[in-house]
Amino acid sequence: MASARQAVWQPSDVAATNLGRFMAKVGVGDFSALRSRSIADPEWFWDAVVRFLGLEWLEPYQKVLDQSRGFPFATWFVGGKTNLAHNCVDRHAASDGERLAIVWEGENGDTRKLTYAELRLEVDALARMLMERGIGAGDRVGIFMPMVPETPAAFLAVAKIGAVALPIFSGYGADAVAVRLSDAGAKALVTVDGFYRRGKVIELAKVAEQALVSAPTVRTVVVVPRISVNFAPSNDTIVRWPVSSPKEPLASRPFDSEHPLFIAYTSGTTGRPKGSVHVHGGFLAKIAEEVAFQFDLGKGDRLFWFADMGWIMGPWEVVGTLALGGTLALYEGVPDFPSPDRLWAFLERHEVSILGISPTLVRSLMRHGEKPVTSHDLSKLRILGSTGEPWNEDPWHWYFEVVGKKRCPIINISGGTEVGACFLSPHPVEPIKPMSLGGPALGMAVDVFDDAGKPLRGEVGELVCLGPWPGMTRSLYKDEARYLETYFGRWPGVWVHGDWASIDEDGNWFLYGRSDDTIKIAGKRLGPAEVESALVSHPAVVEAAAIGVPDELKGEVLWAFVVLSRNIAPAEGLRGELVELVAERLGSSFRPAAIRFTTAIPKTRSAKVLRRAIRAVTLGKPPGDLSSLEDPSSLEAIRKAT
């Protein structure tokens, strides 16, 4: 159980961290006291953060927080004007332009580096082109790109002129792209001619072209010639990414702190995605604080997070790294191609010091053994990060011990697209237990509630937030009613996030997955991650997914789908072993009613298990929105599971 775990990582030189220096600056010597004060007095905390990190408002704000319209519609840094692009590129290019901003590697081995001065040239060139094509403040601009150097440049160019970025996952098909462009009424789209994935060329511009048939508001398509230097536009709508030239710098326009920065769409179960709206001032402050205090990034650090710009961690890593003057490491392809050590070789080559990957990716890489990791010099690594889903015990220890050599803390964060940030996070100034999320992120008034809406300790309950934070979505795009119903509909003035969480006797927080994934057997609540953790501890099991299936007697019974290791065949004896393993680990009440052997588990490109789709297929129901599904054939594998 969580309460029995002991901390396996201890902080050493707290005073040398960004957070240690901040605590000294504000006169708070104890981290737990800082956490409490940041929650009790958020206006003091966020003002102190802005000043400590040197974030610049082009016109000063008059008030930190305005809740006159209530928690759901709180606004931040009231009366001030800023621009995220100014903070992420302009000021660094002006003061230290030769510092490295971006280092990039393509799957085919291509590499590029951009200093802050060079990044500003790219940003300015695209910003000028967009303005020349009639794009201005408030206009929506799609960014449908893999992680190439032009991707953060496009995001910053859109911000610079006050347009609203629309990051779209590079793995989406034409229909999913069209839905998002059409819903936002986008006037422009930035994409690439193609990119490499597992040795194949993905012709992204062709996908974009198909999407535009159903997105008639798009009048400009800017294409980066990633695959072919000879790429030529086929019509007047399409233009090539502009060649940068050393013109007079284009100043970022000052906008109100609450001016929209980007719309982040999430996949919905009904096929209707939700558009989270993030703004210049709030997103800048919250993300810069997280990367500075949770990941301790300084100007000498290189951060790599295995993410796509279409997921919230894409804008997170771009804004957090560049706002603090660090170096953003980007990789185009998959982590184990053409060889199992590709990710580790990338980290060594580019001297990455802060790494972020998901628990599912760790489980996948573990299959190749320790040698791909240990054959590379990863001594530059000093912070490990993770997000996206609950951990299993063995993979967490593998990440901590094999990758981090027990010297790097695992900063396991949790938030979401609508959160625009983290609700929970350990910090490198506190002891860390395996799989723990530490506690509330600074300034975040989170709690765990029981079914009656009362605080709960020592048991699993609903993760909630009781007060506003700068990075939260400003309603949902064009859908205020859905926003209020989704997050504030259960208890007045309480944000219900939809995650199961618990707090142990030492005050450490743990997550158990989405509350709508929770399995309820004879009135007893079970998180699927607990089942999956037990199953993957068996040496024959590589991956697992657990779901609840309706049952007249118990309400639900437990079904599990497992992927076996190579050269291990499904067998009734093995099925029985797995049933008993779960019963032994979790109790006989949670004995699986069925174990099904499959060749694949449906996951998103960000490595989240699509349990709702597994459940729908199992029950013969429509699986809902599958636009984020990485491998469509994995659903057929579930149908054929034995």
CATH of the domain at 541: 3.30.300.30
User: What total number of domains does the chain contain?
Assistant: 3
Structure tokens at 72: 């759901």
CATH of the domain at 172: 3.40.50.12780
Are the C-beta atoms of residues 422 and 415 closer than 8 Å to each other? yes
* Same-domain check for residues 418 and 485: yes
Looking at residue 2, its pLDDT comes to 46
Helix (H, G, I), strand (E, B) or coil at 11: coil
Query: In angstroms, what CA-CA distances link 451 with 406, 441, 456, 500, 556?
Result: 39, 24, 9, 12, 19
Say if 350 falls within a structural domain.
no
Cis omega before residue 338 (within 30°)?
Answer: yes
Q: Which of 334, 358, 387 is the last residue of a domain?
A: 334
579/594 Cα distance (integer angstroms): 8
Looking at residue 269, its pLDDT comes to 42
Averaged pLDDT in 10-residue chunks for the chain of 642 residues:
74 96 96 98 98 98 98 98 98 98 97 98 97 97 98 98 96 88 97 95 94 96 92 84 89 98 76 86 98 98 95 96 98 94 98 94 90 98 91 91 98 94 96 97 97 91 96 96 95 93 93 75 72 87 90 84 90 92 82 93 78 89 77 88 86
Helix (H, G, I), strand (E, B) or coil at 251: coil
182/162 Cα distance (integer angstroms): 20
Structural domain harbouring 604: 518-639
Phi-psi region of 474 (alpha: psi -120 to 50; beta: other; left: phi over 0): beta
What φ, ψ does residue 20 adopt, rounded to 5°? Answer: -60, -40
Say if 90 falls within a structural domain.
yes
* Same-domain check for residues 204 and 242: yes
Looking at residue 3, its pLDDT comes to 46
Paired sense of beta strands 111-115 and 100-105, if any:
antiparallel
Q: Which of 443, 478, 513 is the last residue of a domain?
A: 513
Say if 361 falls within a structural domain.
no
Say if 599 falls within a structural domain.
yes
- Give one DSSP letter per residue of 323-344, joined into a string: HTT-EEEEE-S-TTSSSTTHHH
Say if 378 falls within a structural domain.
no
486/422 Cα distance (integer angstroms): 19
170/310 Cα distance (integer angstroms): 7
* Same-domain check for residues 112 and 156: yes
CATH of the domain at 32: 2.30.38.10
* Same-domain check for residues 67 and 214: no
* Same-domain check for residues 577 and 633: yes
* Same-domain check for residues 76 and 139: no
Whole-prediction pTM: 0.88
* Same-domain check for residues 105 and 165: yes
Q: Which of 513, 535, 550 is the last residue of a domain?
A: 513
133/137 Cα distance (integer angstroms): 13
* Same-domain check for residues 58 and 92: no
* Same-domain check for residues 111 and 192: yes
Say if 404 falls within a structural domain.
no
243/248 Cα distance (integer angstroms): 15
What φ, ψ does residue 50 adopt, rounded to 5°? Answer: -55, -45
